[in-house]
Amino acid sequence: MERFDNINKKVIFLEDSLIIGNTLVIGDLHLGEKEILPKIYYNEIIEKFERIFNEIKLKKINLDKIVILGDLKHEFGEITNNEWRYVLDIIRYLGKKVKEIVIIKGNHDSLLMPILKKVEIGLKDYFFECGALFLHGDRLIDKKVISKSKIIFLGHLHPALSLSDEYKNEKFKCFLTGIWKNKIAYVLPSFSPVFPGYDLKNKDMHEDKDFFIIDRKFLLKFKVIIYDNKDNKEYNFGKLKELV
Amino acid sequence: MNSQKFIKAEKRKAEELIEILDPLVKEWFFFRFNEFSESQLYGVMNVFERKNILISAPTGSGKTLTSFLAILNYLVILAKKKELENKVYCIYSSPLKALNNDIFINLIRPLEEIYIIAGKKGIELQKIRVSVRTGDTETKEKSKMLKEVPHIFITTPESLAICLTSKRLIDLFYSVEFVIIDEIHSLGNKRGVYQSLSLERLENISKITPIRIGLSATVSPIEKVANFLVGSDESRNCYIADVSSYKKIDCEVLSGVTDLIDTNSQEMHSSMYNLIDKLIQNHKTTVIFTNTRAATERVINHLKEMFPQNYVENIGAHHSSLSKEHRFDIEDRLRKGELKVVVTSTSLELGIDIGYIDLVILLGSPKSSARALQRIGRSGHKIHDISKGRFVVLDRDDLVECSILNKECVERKIDNIHIPKNCLDVLAQQIFGMCIQKIWDINEMFKVIRKSYCYSDLTREDFLSVISYLSGEYALEHRNVYAKIWYDVKTKQIGKRGKMARVIYLTNIGTIPEESFITVVIGKGEKKDFKIGVVDESFFEKMKPGDVFVLGGKKYQFMYARGMRAYVKPGIKRNPTIPSWFSEMLPLSFDSAMEIQKFRRQINNMFERNSTEEKIKEFIKDYCYISDSVSKSIYNYFYEQYKFSKIPHDKRLLIEFYKGEKNYVIFHSLFGRRVNDALSRALGYLMAQKVGRDIEIGINDNGFYFAGEKLPIDEALKLIKPENMDKILDEAIFKSEILKRRFRHCAARALMILRNYKGHKKSVGKQQMKSFFLLSAINKISKDFPILKEARREVLEDLMDKYNAKLIVKMIDDGIINIERIHTNLPSPFALNLVLQGYSDLLKIEDKIEFMKRMHKAIIEEINNKV
């Protein structure tokens, strides 16, 4: 991968994912969530991937890698039948699209390893390459790694923003981007077709200071970006603190 | 077609009844009572002669004993001859779980007394066993029933359905002779639909045909309820004993002040409570009915605050969100005469014995004459007592409404009961239950189901689509994980699937939707922590700090939430930012609404004929059976409207164009909320489609309004026709919150979403998340998916009233109702309450992405302006 000198210009938003260089980055998937119908859930995810890969083809990007930012599976203390099935299915599916799949360990992934062993993929606490750092976002990692990185991608937060006019109120998934620890940081929305995410306007969600490694006071300075799937265009809403 | 007969029961002579009674029963009866009650003279002989019968009589008229007397007599005769078998003779089902006291009075005590009489005479009797089986019954008790089979089996609709899946219990039901359905008037809902199917299943199991005995409060049309009781099998006739008019009532409309508009709210408030206090003090025991749980608490607080010397330990609340223990305690203290006053929402309407009540206060309109009579009937519990009820009115619309309800009560005009038909979610649950019971031939099953009144016109297509859903054909899941039954097309057989079937059924049965509530409390100021009421959790999820919403008629601003409590700021003037669709208040019945419209027309005609004020007031007084001062208030209200513009009525639909902060189009359509909901959504949808933007809708019983930038109402009125109403309405509710919410309820009833699985109870929030997801998935698969179809039906037929809405559109089309338009600078007097109340829903037409783009533009502009 080339070094990201003109980093911001290299980031391309695509639905709930983004592309940096030849790498596709996606947020939390939460496969196998018991309360929902796993097959429909899985199908929706595949449909979304298909749209993204089509768009990538149109953009003539030569994709070689996918980074999953953690929480690939959902249930904490067990591996359900559905998780076995769909985690393997999705890895096999993505394996046909790219040469390399990198999986970061999320807080939901304590029992993901046994599944990944079947397909001989490792589970990383973080992934670093050519100045880009990919992590889940639930806990801090080695300071040295952070300091040598230029750009950081995080998941875990499931950011969303509710917009309301005089009487209407709708919630939208969003990206956050700003400066953290003197680096450029991107927080990705979840990839889940079920959860829109946590409304950033709701302060309560972030009262647990340890939930996300970026403190809310920094996040408030981040820009909010909402992606329009219809026209494939992103909308920059400015700084979060102006919106909440 | 159907040759069923519904026959008026005749009043029999007391001698006839005496003749059939065993000497022991006779001696007991006259030891307890001096004579037979009206309902006994009409009913007992029919039960004795094994005829189906519906007994409609007020609470306290001895109808429970009417149903049991001939049965007790029969069992005593058998017990004497030592011919009692080890089987269930009689099943008694009641929607109330807390039956113990009633059963004690009507069964246990009579039996004990009969045994004492027999003992004295040296007559040996076999033991007649009575058992109660509800959700609360312990396992030990349940297994005892299998050995010592109860001769009289007392249960609830839910427990009965469970019994019908258990082989060992079915064995006890093979020759039930009597089935008693109590409080059948309260079953005009999915619980009743559910029970009607259980009765057909029971009949199918039973080797003989049990007779059905229905007990009802005053209800109309009574033949429909009789039909509901006995089902639609052609051979089933039903006798009807209507003894409802034999209890005298004394009712009156009262208002705390003479002028309901120019008195300030503080004064109105205090004079209303003075009036209520005076009424309570002049009577021994009073029950106050409010329409909401929140109001119940409010009334108690105000009474205690204003009259601390009068109300300390002698006042209590009774409503469904209070604990069982609390409610039992209140009922018990009422019976013991320890309470001066009880304030309740709807929970004391049903026939729980509450002892001696000499006054019922109806605070705010009870919204239907049947409900008014039912509530008033709670006073004067003994057969010959007079029931005394007082309507205490809250505002001027309430005044008119209560006066007409008063008229209807005096003249005994009862509004029509609504019984849902062809509910596919209930059907799915019952079919699953039937499959657990045994393997069925599909045609036999269809035949059994169609015998229920609620499914008599079920189409084979709908039936098969439910079977498809249950057998996993909609491919919602890999390998049919969610399939609950199998269906073999070749053999036409169907049966249960999986070992867990019975457990899943037992732990998820029922029709009452689960909700969770957030308590709303005041967040700052002197009234900090004061509890205002509750809001639905799903409604609450839509709120963010700063939002204004309506609760109990007042506006509050949401500040923040902690756990299950929402903290708010009171005294807000701003318009609500959150629609109030959640507040599913009691709707005014269509029949009573039309009565009010008719009344309006008569007053209007008198104004137009220049009748004198005196004459009109006299007319109002006589027409509604009300006092001079109430009549004067009504006169003033109508006069203001007449002078201001026009009085709308049953032949004149007034559309008011009022320009305030927004553009309003107000329909003076006094058809009740259920009709208005349907009408307004249909018209609003047509308009929103034209202009491509969302339209705000406000609905109450008296009318509805639209607000928005462009409101092409004339075009919408041109487009709407009785023939295309179905299609328009289906589209109009497609994206609505209410459909999503009702879909969750239906999905739970149809066991698509299990509330309980392998011992884990799911939170309402999780159920909701799953149902939203399911709904979007199903929309992709098929619009005719049976449970989605049912959710639409429930919204349009049960929650709203599509049929009467169509009727109104037809009347407009036929020129029976004339549309007239007025333009105003201030809302007319009749429109005031509607405009003040705020909006109920938003018709969403605008695309979510379009909305995002619009907001983006606005926000960027704002930011640029700041710079």
Chain B nearest CA to A200, separation (Å): 11
**Mean pLDDT value across residues A132-143:** 92
Instruction: List b or e across B230-259, with b for residues whose CB sees 16 or more CB atoms inside 10 angstroms.
Output: bbbbeebebbbbbbbeebebebbbbbbbee
pLDDT of residue B579: 64
Output the CA angle A153-A155-A156, nearest 5 degrees.
150
Using pLDDT thresholds of 50, 70 and 90, give the confidence band for residue B274. Answer: very high
Amino acid at B550: V
Chain A nearest CA to B855, separation (Å): 7
Pick left, alpha or beta for residue B529 (phi over 0 → left; psi -120 to 50 → alpha; otherwise beta): left
CB B570 within 8 A of CB B832: no
Instruction: Give the lowest-confidence range in A81-90, B40-49, B505-514, B785-794.
Output: B505-514
Cβ contact (<8 Å) for B855 and A242? no
Q: Which residue of B542, B774, B856 is in closest CB contact with A169?
A: B542
Q: Which residue of B844, B852, B855 is in closest CB contact with A228?
A: B852
Output the CA angle B782-B783-B784, nearest 5 degrees.
85
CB B845 within 8 A of CB B688: yes
Output the CA angle A57-A59-A60, nearest 5 degrees.
60
Question: At residue A109, does pLDDT exceed 90?
Answer: no
**Mean pLDDT value across residues B16-41:** 94
Cβ contact (<8 Å) for B856 and A235? yes
pLDDT of residue B529: 82
CB B367 within 8 A of CB B398: no
From chain B, pick out residues whose CB is under 8 angstroms from the CB of A164.
544, 577
Cβ contact (<8 Å) for B852 and A226? yes
Cross-strand partners of A227: A234
Chain B nearest CA to A29, separation (Å): 15
Residue ranges and CATH numbers for the domains of chain A are 10-243 (3.60.21)
Count of pairs with CB atoms under 8 A, one residue in A, one in B:
92
Residue of A30, A31, A37 best to disrupt the B interface, most CBs of B under 10 A: A37
CA distance B348 to B351: 7
Chain B nearest CA to A91, separation (Å): 19
Chain A nearest CA to B826, separation (Å): 22
Output the CA angle B705-B711-B712, nearest 5 degrees.
120
CA atoms within 13 A on the CB side of A225: 23
Q: Which of B505, B501, B532, B497 is nearest to B518 (CA)?
A: B532
Nearest chain B Cα to A207, which residue? B562
B201 token code pair: 């299943």
CB B795 within 8 A of CB B739: yes
From chain B, pick out residues whose CB is under 8 angstroms from the CB of A33.
none
Q: Which residue has the tokens 């200071």?
A: A209
Nearest chain A Cα to B761, which residue? A35
CB B241 within 8 A of CB B55: yes
Max mean pLDDT range (B585-589, B663-667, B782-786): B663-667
Q: Which residue of A36, A168, A228 is in closest CB contact with B770?
A: A36
CB B251 within 8 A of CB B403: no
- Cα of B785 vs its chain's centroid, Å: 27
Nearest chain A Cα to B543, which residue? A169
**Using CB atoms and an 8 Å cut-off, which of residues 472-501 of chain B contact chain A?**
476-478, 482
Using pLDDT thresholds of 50, 70 and 90, give the confidence band for residue B654. Answer: very high
**Mean pLDDT value across residues B332-348:** 90
Within an 8 Å CB–CB cutoff, is residue B851 touching chain A? yes
**Mean pLDDT value across residues A191-219:** 78
Nearest chain A Cα to B757, which residue? A35
B35 token code pair: 């004579």
Chain B nearest CA to A234, separation (Å): 10
Cross-strand partners of B822: B656
Cβ contact (<8 Å) for A194 and B769? yes
Nearest chain B Cα to A228, which residue? B849
Q: In what helix (H) or strand (E) does residue B582 lie, and over which residues does it extend?
A: none
Amino acid at B469: Y
Chain A nearest CA to B662, separation (Å): 12
Nearest chain A Cα to B841, which residue? A167
Question: At residue A5, does pLDDT exceed 60?
Answer: no
From chain A, pick out residues whose CB is under 8 angstroms from the CB of B577.
164, 166-167, 169
DSSP character at residue B496: E
From chain B, pick out residues whose CB is under 8 angstroms from the CB of A189.
none
Cβ contact (<8 Å) for A37 and B476? yes
CA distance B577 to A168: 8
Chain A nearest CA to B478, separation (Å): 6
pLDDT of residue B765: 65
Q: Which of B553, B648, B660 is nearest to B601 (CA)?
A: B648
- Listed by start position, the domains of chain B span 6-246, 249-410, 517-569, 651-740+792-849
CB A198 within 8 A of CB A160: yes
How high is the ipTM of this complex? 0.80
Summarised one tens digit per residue, pLDDT across range B804-822 is 999 999 999 999 999 999 9
Instruction: Give the lowest-confidence range in B430-444, B582-596, B694-708.
Output: B582-596
- CA distances (Å), origin B567, targets A6, A204, A205, B547, B736: 48, 13, 17, 12, 27
DSSP reduced 3-state for A208: coil
Question: At residue B34, does pLDDT exceed 60?
Answer: yes
Q: Which of B612, B616, B653 is nearest to B635 (CA)?
A: B616
DSSP string, B146-211: HHS--SEEEE-HHHHHHHTT-HHHHGGGTT--EEEE-SGGGG-SHHHHHHHHHHHHHHHH-SS--E
Cβ contact (<8 Å) for A163 and B855? yes
Cβ contact (<8 Å) for A228 and B773? no
pLDDT of residue B28: 95
**What residue ranges in B452-572 does DSSP mark as E strands?**
485-488, 493-496, 517-522, 531-536, 548-551, 554-562, 565-569
pLDDT of residue B381: 65
pLDDT of residue B60: 67
Fold of B6-246: Rossmann fold (3.40.50)
Nearest chain B Cα to A37, which residue? B477
Question: At residue B480, does pLDDT exceed 50?
Answer: no
From chain A, pick out residues whose CB is under 8 angstroms from the CB of B842.
167-168
Chain A nearest CA to B533, separation (Å): 22
Cβ contact (<8 Å) for A172 and B577? no
What percent of chain A is modeled with pLDDT above 90? 58
- CA distances (Å), origin B283, targets B255, B304, B374, B379: 18, 18, 20, 11
Superfamily designation of domain B249-410: P-loop containing nucleotide triphosphate hydrolases (3.40.50.300)
Residues of A with CB under 8 A from a CB of B: 35-41, 44, 85, 162-170, 172, 193-195, 199, 201-204, 226, 228-231, 235, 237-238, 242-243
From chain A, pick out residues whose CB is under 8 angstroms from the CB of B860.
237-238
Q: Which residue of A85, A165, A170 is in closest CB contact with B848?
A: A170
Residue of A33, A34, A35 best to disrupt the B interface, most CBs of B under 10 A: A35
Using pLDDT thresholds of 50, 70 and 90, give the confidence band for residue B729. Answer: very high
CA distance B794 to B851: 30
B293 token code pair: 């749980």
| Per-chain mean pLDDT for chain B | 88
CB B467 within 8 A of CB B487: yes
Question: At residue B59, does pLDDT exceed 90?
Answer: no
Question: At residue B301, does pLDDT exceed 60?
Answer: yes
Sequence-distant (6+) residues with CB within 8 A of B50 are B177, B211
pLDDT of residue B479: 43
Sequence-distant (6+) residues with CB within 8 A of B558 are B543, B544, B545, B546, B547, B548, B549, B566, B567, B568
CB A123 within 8 A of CB A115: no
Question: At residue B605, does pLDDT exceed 50?
Answer: yes
Q: Which of B353, B344, B275, B471 is nearest to B100 (CA)?
A: B353
Whether the domain at B6-246 and the domain at B249-410 fall into the same CATH topology: yes
Question: At residue B313, does pLDDT exceed 80?
Answer: yes
**Cα maximum dimension of chain A:** 53
